[in-house]
Amino acid sequence: MSHTNGQSRLNFIEQSPDLVKKLQDFSMAIANSGHGEPQLFHLVDIRASQMNGCTTCLDMHVKEAKLHGERELRLYHVAVWRESPLFTPKERAALALTEALTKIAPTGVSDELYAEVREQFSEKELSTLIFRVVGINAWNRVNVACRTTPGARDQALGLDKAGLA
């Protein structure tokens, strides 16, 4: 449980274990769908977490990405991906869609962006990507509301091996 200004926030894992399990199952189904690239999914998770100010998810997904072979420089560049030369057209399309679905404009996802993304992804991959963005945004919102302590579960999840203490 995190403490802020003397007030503690609830531990959503203890209070809603069945719902947490369902959200974990949802996330695992996406990860194991066979219709996405782990490296790309890490970038999506990192960008949404940056936008939502979710330190817990940002901490976790940067460490996971490093453990799965992502280059540190690319991790540093995720926040400025539009200006960085380090991302492929497919990654750029995924990051643009992540931003559009994380902070939904009154007009929704533009036809131009949708066409750009469709050029890079099959229909199945695009569907999976959309659900990936939905999933990380759900986790971000729960962790932001409860101010979950970043890195608190690193050892249990093996994230301490990332060497990013």
| pLDDT tens, position by position, 35-79 | 878 899 999 999 999 999 999 999 999 999 999 999 999 999 999
What mean pLDDT is reported for the chain? Answer: 92
| pLDDT tens, position by position, 74-102 | 999 999 999 999 999 999 999 999 999 99
Q: Confidence class of residue 158 from pLDDT cuts 50, 70 and 90? A: confident
CB 61 within 8 A of CB 35: no
Return the C-alpha torsion angle 54, 48, 134, 128, nearest 10.
-140
What is d(CA 37, CA 59) in angstroms, rounded to the nearest whole number? 20
Check residues 153 and 100 and name the one with the higher pLDDT.
100
Which tokens in the block code for residue 70? 């992502």
Which tokens in the block code for residue 127? 């569907």
DSSP classification of residue 163: -
3-class DSSP state of 73: helix
Whether residue 124 has pLDDT greater than 90: yes
* Domains by residue range for the chain, with CATH: 23-162 (1.20.1290.10)
Listed in sequence order, the residues at least 6 apart from 11 whose beta carbon sits closer than 8 Å to its beta carbon are 1, 146
3-class DSSP state of 54: coil
pLDDT at 1: 41
Which tokens in the block code for residue 122? 């099959």
Whether residue 3 has pLDDT greater than 50: no
Return the C-alpha torsion angle 61, 89, 101, 75, nearest 10.
20
